[in-house]
Structure 1
Amino acid sequence: MYTFDQATLDGTGAFLVGELERLDQELNMPLVGYTWSRDIQLREDVSIADDISSFTNSTFAAAGTPNPNGKNWIGKDSTAIAGPNVDIAKTGFPLTLWGMELGWTVVELAAAAKVGRPIDTQKFDAMQLKWNMDTDEQVYRGDSQLGVKGLLNYNGAAATNAPKTWATSTPDEIRASINLLLSNAWAASGYTIVPRDLLLPPEQFALLSSIIVSSAGNQSLLTYLRENTIAFHQNGVPLNIRAVKWLKGAGTGGTDRMMAYTNDKKFVRFPMVPLLSVPVQYRGIYQLTTYYGKLGAVESPYPETMAYMDGI
Structure 2
Amino acid sequence: MSNFKNVGTFDAGVFTPKMSGAPQGGVPTMDAAGIASGGAFLVSELEKRDPLIRKPLTSFTYPRDININIGGGWADYVSAMSVAYGITGGDGASAVASGGANGLPVIQASVDKGTYKAHVFAAALRVSFQDMQRANMIGRSLDQLLTDGMRMAYDKHMDRNVYMGMSEYDTTGLVNNPDVVETSVTGTGAQSSTKWKDKTPQQILNDINAAITAAWEAAEYDESAIPNHILIPYEQYTYILNTMVTDLATETIMDYVMKNNVAAKNGGSLFIGATKWCKGAGTSGSDRMVVYVNHERFLNMDELVPLSRTMSAPNVANVCYDTAYMANLSEVQVLYPQTLRYYDGI
TM-score band by shorter chain is 0.7 to 0.9
- Give 1:73's aligned amino acid: V
Q: CA deviation at 1:103?
A: 1.7
Hey, what does 2:5 align to over in structure 1?
none
Hey, what does 2:345 align to over in structure 1?
311
Equivalent residues of 2:94, 2:105 under 8 A apart: no
1:179 has 2:209 as partner: yes
- CA deviation string 1:92-125 (max 9, x = no partner): 1111011111121222111122223311111111
Hey, what does 1:289 align to over in structure 2?
323
Give the Cα–Cα distance (whole angstroms) in 1 for the partners of residues 86 and 242 of structure 2.
51
Q: Return 212-221 or 125-134, whichever deviates more.
A: 212-221
Hey, what does 2:65 align to over in structure 1?
39
Hey, what does 1:21 align to over in structure 2?
47
Equivalent residues of 1:227, 1:238 under 8 A apart: no
Give the Cα–Cα distance (whole angstroms) in 2 for the partners of residues 248 and 151 of structure 1.
13
Q: 1:30 aligns with which of 30, 38, 56?
A: 56
Give the Cα–Cα distance (whole angstroms) in 2 for the partners of residues 250 and 178 of structure 1.
18
| Unaligned runs of at least 5 residues, structure 1 | 1-17
CA distance 1:111–1:100, shift in 2 (3 Å):
same
Equivalent residues of 2:311, 2:325 under 8 A apart: no
- Give 1:309's aligned amino acid: Y
Hey, what does 1:15 align to over in structure 2?
none
Hey, what does 2:83 align to over in structure 1?
58
Q: CA deviation at 1:263?
A: 1.1
Q: When the two structures are aligned, how many residues end up with a matched partner?
A: 291
Listed as ranges, the matches of 1:244-263 within 5 Å are 244-263=275-294
TM-score after normalising by structure 2:
0.79
| Unaligned runs of at least 5 residues, structure 2 | 1-43, 187-193
Q: 2:309 aligns with which of 253, 269, 277?
A: 277
- Give 2:329's aligned amino acid: L
The SS at the match of 2:157 is helix
Give the Cα–Cα distance (whole angstroms) in 1 for the partners of residues 139 and 210 of structure 2.
56
Give the Cα–Cα distance (whole angstroms) in 1 for the partners of residues 179 and 78 of structure 2.
18
- Give 1:142's aligned amino acid: G
Equivalent residues of 1:56, 1:301 under 8 A apart: no
Equivalent residues of 2:62, 2:158 under 8 A apart: yes
Larger Cα Rg: Structure 1 or Structure 2? 2
Hey, what does 1:227 align to over in structure 2?
259
Q: Percent identity?
A: 28
Give the Cα–Cα distance (whole angstroms) in 2 for the partners of residues 134 and 173 of structure 1.
36
Give the Cα–Cα distance (whole angstroms) in 1 for the partners of residues 285 and 108 of structure 2.
44
TM-score after normalising by structure 1:
0.88
Give the Cα–Cα distance (whole angstroms) in 2 for the partners of residues 308 and 113 of structure 1.
53
Q: 1:243 aligns with which of 274, 279, 300?
A: 274
Give the Cα–Cα distance (whole angstroms) in 1 for the partners of residues 48 and 322 of structure 2.
34
Equivalent residues of 2:76, 2:117 under 8 A apart: yes
